[in-house]
Amino acid sequence: MLSYATKRALIAILTLLAASLVVFAMLEIVPGDPARLMLGMNATEDAVHNLQEQMGLNQPLAIRYFSWLGGLLTGDLGKSYTYSVPVFDLIKERVAVSLPLAVISLALSTLIALPVGIFAASKRGKFSDTLAMGVAQVGVAIPNFWFALLLVYLFAVTLRLVPAGGFPGWGAGFGVSLKSLILPSIALALPQAAILARITRSALLEVLGEDYIRTARAKGLSRRQVLYRHALRNALIPVLTILGLQFAFLLAGTIIIENVFYLPGLGRLVFQAITQRDLIVVEGVVMLLIATLVLVNLLVDLSYAIVDPRLRGRS
Amino acid sequence: MKSWKLAVACVAISLVMSSASYAAKTDLVLGIVLEPPHLDPTAGAAAAIDEIVYANIFEGLTRIGPKGNVLPALAESWTQSDDGKVYTFKLHKDVKFHDGTAFDADDVKFSLDRARGDKSTNAQKGLFSAIDTVNVVDPLTVKVALKQPSGDFLYNMGWGDAVIVAPESAGTNKDKPVGTGPFKFDSWAKGSQIVITKNADYWGKPALLDKATFRVIPDPAAATAALLAGDVQAFPVFPSYETISQFQADPRFKVVIGTTEGETVLGMNNKKPPFDNPKVRQAITHAIDRKSLIDGAMFGFGTPIGSFFPPHHPAYIDLTAETAYDPELAKKLMAEAGHPDGFKTTLKLPPPTYARRGGEIIAAELREIGIEAEIIPVEWAQWLDQVFKNKDYDMTIVSHTEPNDLNIFSRDDYYFNYDSPAFKDLIKQIDATSDGAERTGLYQQAQKLLAKDVPAAFLFQLPKTGIWDAKIEGLWENGPIQANDLTSVKWLD
């Protein structure tokens, strides 16, 4: 078991190292100079040169890579070119929005998807199954930003129950902050829930066709008992895989929803940093996301073992 | 289990029911599209910096007023020597920076010397190039000697890039700006909002608002929703042209369409064939229908221009007729230039809507006279690198938003590659002239020369599309410089 964990950790570290090299190299070949961008069209050459020097952009590539990598290892992600504050602080502020948003959306989508998927599978072929899957199909098809705008017009503009967007910061109070995350998390959760419900249903149906289900029914268990005790557990593995992928998406891929609700999340930080050529911020965030992905994959792998005891024996 | 569920439901309901709190009448939430990279106007060109700090937090010797005129600011008065080369500024007394340090002549010398010095990272270093020496006469008097007379000097000192900063705080202004203005910096939640509050110790007329919040809303649809929901009460530069008519019909809002200093042009590479031929450039100009361009790309907002000069300026002359839409004439000019069948070229477009939408329309119009322009969308960083710095382009669309920037056509090595000794001479004369009538005459000559040479096709002046609550008074109608001057903004009862 120990050797398994060590192996996993080594692979993770190697993945991160390789990623750091690729990320750094790719961003360096992108055209555009942050100093010139900052000083604009009227700037004199010597002013641009001075700023490049201040930003440390005049050093050779290799030196910059190793000093950046050295920083990463000691937890120092460097200083943003444009904001001139530590990258770590910038990311920390954004994670305080993106992480709760991702967690709430994921919880919401799971709470909706699992019952709907189970219900549809148990009523297979009946009208209620067709209806539930039809609604889910629409949910998959609707673009989330459009759905978000509908929510804003109904709940913020017309009913004025919640703000149209923005995030007051956790310092402004738990209630108001949570309130500002309600609409975005619904907008994010529903399309994800629709996908998840369909996956749950098809995974369940596949399991329900297995021989051991028939055996369980034959030995006298009720339809309900078979569904929850035997089928559901076995159907959860594909569902967990999708959940892991969705979490990674919800953490970083939500830039469109962040724009619609003007939330200061990670997606917008990365987007803004790319347009401003604040490469050190881009590098920091991308590395963080890769690290998160590696971690989430590990957790998903471990959770397989919880769901399926047969996997615990292997290593 | 039951009671737990009940509690959750109660919390959820109370969260939803506690209705949005309405703003008290002394605070204001404004929407801005772009977040500033930092808040030091002396170290960055981004308009978003000045849109927050100009006149509110930082002040210069002079300032630009709502009509684009030069007004006194930290200098209460000034005199000019007979040869026009020495300005003596008399400063206001009892002025304090927000951190409590006193303002005096040494701060002026420090700020000007820093902006023009060897280590300067000022985005508009050129504004200070006329200065020869800055001398402190006494704590309230500064003498600025110029290398040669400069008609623009007092105007230049009113730019956001020329504000006075203190040596104690100059290094940290990016994150924690310390100025002398009627508002002081309160907080900045990055990616979200910037808050400024009233400076109780202000030396001049105090601000009427206690607090102003600038909220960053990049998405046009979100900007519309935020105004409608009352989350922001003013959007001085509203980004969604397509929804403006909705606000015009709504009595809760005031829609104010003003002008800016943004001349939008179709830039052409004047040294690269076939654009080195003036006839080709003239043909392109005559092939563009400014009205359909403004209607199509700007939903009708914008003023056509025939040269590189803002229509609200007293010296402006309307030259759109000289380069009016005339496809037949355009085809004739193309034939005379040796391109009767047209040619293939490229059009590089930066991200703003006016460029991306305008580029589609212009490309379609150029096709009518045989020019196949391939559209290449670029980001700002790429645009600055490829088009602006390396001049690797054929045509591009961009708005030149700096005030008083007629002289860009006289700069060597500027991206137009326009090299006209006659125009350079005119700019030199303008800069050396302080007499009003004489300057007007020279300005008009320069406008005519550009309309004749067409180093770029002149399209339209960017509008300032402001929308705010009908009960707000004192926001600027026009944008002579990019600023949100809140010094006399108030709520009507």
User: Smallest Cα–Cα separation from B97: which of B36, B195, B173?
Assistant: B173
Contacts of residues B443-448 at CB distance under 8 Å and 24 or more positions apart, as own/partner, are B443/B309, B443/B313, B443/B315, B443/B406, B444/B315, B444/B317, B446/B406, B447/B307, B447/B308, B447/B309, B447/B315, B447/B316, B447/B317, B447/B319, B448/B307, B448/B317, B448/B319
| pLDDT reading at B424 higher than 50 | yes
DSSP letter for each residue of A233-281: HHHHHHHHHHHHHHHHHHHHS-HHHHHHTT---HHHHHHHHHHTT-HHH
Please report the residues numbered 32 through 61 in chain A whose beta carbons come closer than 8 angstroms to any beta carbon of chain B: 32-34, 36-44, 46-47, 50-51, 54
- Per the listing, tokens 């270093």 go with B125
pLDDT at B331: 95
Average pLDDT of the residues in B20-26 = 57
Does the predicted interface ipTM exceed a cut of 0.95? no
Write the pLDDT tens digit of every residue in B187-223.
998 889 999 999 999 999 999 999 999 999 988 999 9
Q: How far is B57 from chain A (nearest CA, A)?
A: 19
Mean pLDDT across chain B, nearest whole number? 91
Of B16, B37, B191, the CB nearest to A269: B191
pLDDT at A122: 87
- What single-letter DSSP state applies at residue B24? P
Average pLDDT of the residues in B418-425 = 94
| pLDDT reading at B24 higher than 70 | no
Check if the beta carbon of residue A84 is closer than 8 Å to that of residue B38.
yes
| pLDDT reading at B22 higher than 80 | no
pLDDT confidence tier of residue B328, bands split at 50, 70 and 90: very high
CA distance A188 to A147: 9
Q: How far is B462 from chain A (nearest CA, A)?
A: 17
Q: Per the structure block, which two tokens stand in for A283?
A: 């590098």
Q: How far is A109 from chain B (nearest CA, A)?
A: 17
CA distance B286 to B325: 5
CA distance B380 to B387: 10
Least confident of A230-234, B49-53, B156-160, B340-344: A230-234
Interface residue B402 vs chain A (CB under 8 A): yes
| pLDDT reading at B11 higher than 50 | no
Structure pTM?
0.86
Would the CB atoms of B225 and A38 count as touching at under 8 Å? Answer: no
CB contacts, 8 Å: B18 with chain A: 175, 179
Residues in chain B: 493
- Per the listing, tokens 């943004």 go with B262
User: Smallest Cα–Cα separation from A219: which of A232, A203, A209, A230?
Assistant: A230
Please report the residues numbered 68 through 127 in chain A whose beta carbons come closer than 8 angstroms to any beta carbon of chain B: 82-85, 90, 93-94
DSSP, collapsed to helix, strand or coil, labels residue A124 as: coil
CA distance A219 to A212: 10
Q: Containing H/E element for B289?
A: none
Would the CB atoms of B191 and A275 count as touching at under 8 Å? Answer: no
Q: Per the structure block, which two tokens stand in for B25?
A: 């009448």
Of A31, A164, A262, the CB nearest to B229: A164
CA distance B250 to B470: 10
Would the CB atoms of A175 and B381 count as touching at under 8 Å? Answer: no
pLDDT at B193: 93
Q: Containing H/E element for B467?
A: strand B456-469
Would the CB atoms of B126 and A260 count as touching at under 8 Å? Answer: no
Would the CB atoms of A47 and B123 count as touching at under 8 Å? Answer: yes
| pLDDT reading at B425 higher than 50 | yes
Q: How far is B35 from chain A (nearest CA, A)?
A: 9
CA distance B70 to B483: 15
Of A40, A54, A83, the CB nearest to B38: A83
Helices (H) and strands (E) counted in chain A, each on its own, are: 15, 0
Would the CB atoms of A94 and B191 count as touching at under 8 Å? Answer: yes
DSSP, collapsed to helix, strand or coil, labels residue B243 as: helix
Would the CB atoms of A165 and B231 count as touching at under 8 Å? Answer: yes
- Each residue's pLDDT tens digit in chain A (315 positions)? 455 667 777 877 888 888 889 988 888 777 778 888 888 888 888 888 888 888 878 888 888 888 888 888 888 888 888 887 899 999 998 999 999 999 999 999 999 999 999 999 888 889 989 998 999 999 888 888 899 999 999 999 999 898 888 898 888 889 889 999 999 999 999 989 999 999 999 999 998 888 888 888 888 888 888 888 888 888 888 888 888 888 878 887 788 899 889 999 988 898 888 888 888 899 888 888 888 888 887 777 777 777 777 766 554
CA distance B297 to B288: 13
Would the CB atoms of A259 and B189 count as touching at under 8 Å? Answer: no
From the candidates A27, A28, A39, which should be mutated to test the interface with B, based on the most B CB atoms within 10 A?
Answer: A39
Find the largest Cα–Cα distance for chain A. Answer: 86
Please report the residues numbered 298 through 337 in chain B whose beta carbons come closer than 8 angstroms to any beta carbon of chain A: none
